[in-house]
Amino acid sequence: MELLSGADMIARFLKDEGVEYIYGYPGGAALHIYDALFRQDDVKHILVRHEQAATHMADGYARASGKPGVVLVTSGPGATNAVTGIATAYMDSIPMVVLCGQVASHLIGEDAFQETDIVGVTRPIVKHSFSVRHPSEIPTILKKAFYLASTGRPGPVVVDIPKDMTAPTERYEYVYPKKVKLRSYSPVTRGHAGQIKKAVDMMLKARRPVIFAGGGVISGRASEALTDLAKRLNLPVITSLMGLGAYPQNDRQSLGWPGMHGSYEANMAMHHSDLVFGIGVRFDDRVTNNVSKFCPTAKIIHVDIDPSSISKSVQADVPIVGAADNVLNEMLGLLSSRESVNQDALEAWWQQIEGWRSERAGKLYEPATPGEPLKPQQVVEAVHKITHGDAFVVTDVGQHQMFAGQYYKFNKPNRWISSSGLGTMGFGFPAANGIKLNYPDDDVVLFTGEGSFQMMMQELSTCKQFNIPVKIINLNNASLGMVRQWQDLNYKSRHAHSYMESLPDFEKLIEAYGFKAMTVRTLEELEPALEEAFRLKDELVFLDIHVDPREHVYPMQVPLGAMRDMLLSKTERT
């Protein structure tokens, strides 16, 4: 029998759970835990420079690996600083375990120094939370936290740990709980056989079907099954932004992503379809545009592991609660014994889709010629080329995010890392760091904007301490571009506070941390700079790339319209 303090139990549990890195920042209520971490070598702690960064680092790692990221913060301000990152993970269903120090039990409720009711604060943005009330509960609670975070529809779990629970003098028996059971939690895995059969029948009969696959296919590790099914039936595949990479974009059947800034062909195809097979998606309002005009002629099949996602915004005709891989494999099983698709109709459908595709081909934006200000889109294309479409691509939030999603093509899941649901500026840099740390041999590229980067730029110091050589592509339009775009379109170009008056000299800033930075202004400078940046494998390189501030992201859905109602450029509209 082994007696450990609560703090030592935490360190030991993390090791036994197979956690390699945790991300955090110390403070009074967490000091017993930090001391326990100091006295062991198995779990490595990464000291960030702001607790929000710890959550985004853990989040980035979780998105890339599918495993829960682990965060450790102190009570009060440490915990509240983590809130944005918890909400970010919650909105995108990312597995995360956040350990928060708390004031000692006898002080709770007394407005003690650095006391915040973090369980209360985070209640609407967690999958679940725990408060430790006895040190001996720690192993079970932690196991439950990891289990909840990573199964079913994943999400963040907060564990609140009063300081006396980790006191070195209080020692209890430690056994690693291999398994836990919660009587009120048993995520569904298998879909309903009858519903699955009905869905397959509908897919075989459909004349204008589309597959609409989301983040659930990625977190459910079902990309391969999805690809098999799409190939077998020759169906067009649209992925949500969260689902980018769930289906290879270099394949003819991929139509890209739909919605606000989705591709013309994806929005057109989905709008005109007669059957949407949605899987691991939540039909969010950035996709559907005006729900009452959404897909007027389509029947909806909706597969999701979370029943509350189904028929939330869009009424499903065939709801299927189940895990993506199970449902897809069941479908594949049914297919082998059946006749094929509605061949003639499908051929006509593909012709129509190819028509939409060629309508916009080559007209998406006007690349800069030598001497002109660079277009952000062409920078993304150049990065795609130099990384062979194989990098982890992390973004911040804004126009640059949309351009990265539009012009980098993903052929694998878990490579597109972006805060979609919450749209958190500042997410990108720490998330990229979390990935690079865990995948040191892969290229990790951050597309950011000068606005977003300044929200988390203190993390340069973390990169310096732990030697994290990410490549930062700062698409510098000297403005809060996405805000500016909306002001151009809706407020007669009254640019209220979307202009960054006093940007730093980014080269000097980066160099102050001992890293390499280059400024790029023209097409001629672009390729050599990129080549050098990626040649320097082991160095963080920051490219401050000045791009045309007048550029808008198109297509852009027209407010209150249907999916097909889009602005295609500053002068064209569908």
Ligand X SMILES: Cc1ncc(C[n+]2csc(CCOP(=O)(O)OP(=O)(O)O)c2C)c(N)n1
Task: Give the Cα separation of 110 and 115 in Å (integer).
Answer: 8
337, two tokens? 């014994």
Q: How do 171-173 and 3-5 pair as beta strands? A: antiparallel
| Closer residue to Mg ion (CB): 5 or 479 | 479
Task: Give the Cα separation of 179 and 159 in Å (integer).
Answer: 18
Task: Give the Cα separation of 103 and 161 in Å (integer).
Answer: 8
Task: Give the Cα separation of 163 and 106 in Å (integer).
Answer: 10
Q: Which residues contact 47 (CB under 8 A, 6 or more apart)?
A: 24, 25, 26, 462, 465
Question: Which residue numbers are catalytic?
Answer: 51, 113-114, 163, 482
Residues that bind Mg ion (CB under 5 A): 449, 451, 477, 481
The listed partner (ligand X, Mg ion, another protein, none) that binds 312, CB under 5 to 8 Å by sort, is another protein
The listed partner (another protein, Mg ion, ligand X, none) that binds 307, CB under 5 to 8 Å by sort, is another protein
The listed partner (ligand X, Mg ion, another protein, none) that binds 452, CB under 5 to 8 Å by sort, is ligand X
The DSSP secondary-structure symbol of 373 reads P
If one asks whether residue 483 binds ligand X (CB under 6 A), the answer comes out as: yes
Closest distance to ligand X from the beta carbon of 552 (Å): 10
Question: Position of tokens 């290879």?
Answer: 248
Task: Give the Cα separation of 304 and 306 in Å (integer).
Answer: 5
Closest distance to ligand X from the beta carbon of 481 (Å): 3
| Closer residue to ligand X (CB): 165 or 483 | 483
Closest distance to ligand X from the beta carbon of 292 (Å): 26
If one asks whether residue 481 binds ligand X (CB under 6 A), the answer comes out as: yes
- 212 has which bridge partners? 238, 278
| Closer residue to ligand X (CB): 383 or 475 | 475
Determine the interface stretch with ligand X among 70-78, 292-300, 471-479, 504-512 (rule: CB under 6 A). 471-479
The answer to whether the beta carbons of residues 518 and 532 sit under 8 Å apart is: yes
If one asks whether residue 428 binds ligand X (CB under 6 A), the answer comes out as: no
Residues that bind another protein (CB under 8 A): 119-120, 123-124, 127-129, 131, 148, 182-185, 306-308, 311-312, 315
Of the chain, the end-to-end C-alpha distance in Å amounts to 72
Q: Candidates 480, 520, 563, 567: give the one binding ligand X (CB under 6 A).
A: 480
| Cβ burial 276-285 (10 Å sphere, 16+ → b, else e) | bbbbbbbbbe
Question: Per CB under 6 A, which of residues 407..426 are in contact with ligand X?
Answer: 423-426
Task: Give the Cα separation of 145 and 155 in Å (integer).
Answer: 10
- Orientation of helix 6-16 relative to helix 31-38, angle to 10°: 50
| Closer residue to another protein (CB): 184 or 502 | 184
Q: Which among 510, 474, 424 is positioned nearest to 85, based on CA atoms? A: 424
If one asks whether residue 397 binds ligand X (CB under 6 A), the answer comes out as: yes
Closest distance to another protein from the beta carbon of 90 (Å): 12
3-state SS, residue 378: helix
The listed partner (another protein, ligand X, Mg ion, none) that binds 177, CB under 5 to 8 Å by sort, is none
| Closer residue to ligand X (CB): 257 or 453 | 453
Closest distance to Mg ion from the beta carbon of 398 (Å): 6
Site string for ligand X, 443-462 (x = CB under 6 A): ------xxxx----------
Site string for ligand X, 352-391 (x = CB under 6 A): ----------------------------------------
Q: Which residues contact 441 (CB under 8 A, 6 or more apart)?
A: none
495, two tokens? 């640019």
510, two tokens? 């980066």
Closest distance to ligand X from the beta carbon of 452 (Å): 3
Q: Which among 80, 104, 127 is positioned nearest to 31, based on CA atoms? A: 104
The residue ranges that bind ligand X (CB under 6 A) are 396-400, 423-426, 449-452, 475, 477, 479-483
